[in-house]
Amino acid sequence: MKICQVERPLVSTNRIAGFEHKHLLVVRDGSSRQVAVDSVGCVPGDWVICVGSSAAREAAGSKEYPSDLTIVGIIDHWPPESAGDDGADRPRPKST
């Protein structure tokens, strides 16, 4: 799964019926932007876990849902400023 940051909502009035009325969000994965379906209820600025591939469909609610990128979790703590190094200077989350 990818680690992305939510940037903003995306409005697409003319879209296929299969999307239903789920929210679409623009997320950033490093320097690239993609569109993800929100399954957890997140807001701009959140660091989230995005699942792709065929798993994105079921994660969005059903096997027929036409998503290839679905937000499946909000990360409790994420050190974006150390994303390019090993984050050794920051407290690390412990496994639960």
Contact residues for its own copies, defined by CB under 8 A: 1-3, 7-16, 18-19, 23-24, 26, 30-36, 39-41, 49, 51-59, 64-70, 72-77, 83-84, 86-87, 92-96
Helix (H) or strand (E) holding 25: strand 24-29
Compute the distance between CA of residue 8 and CA of residue 46 in angstroms, rounded to an integer.
Answer: 10
Nearest distance from C-beta of residue 12 to its own copies, angstroms: 4
Q: Which residues pair with 3 in a beta bridge?
A: 49
CB 7 within 8 A of CB 28: yes
Nearest distance from C-beta of residue 89 to its own copies, angstroms: 14
Nearest distance from C-beta of residue 44 to its own copies, angstroms: 9
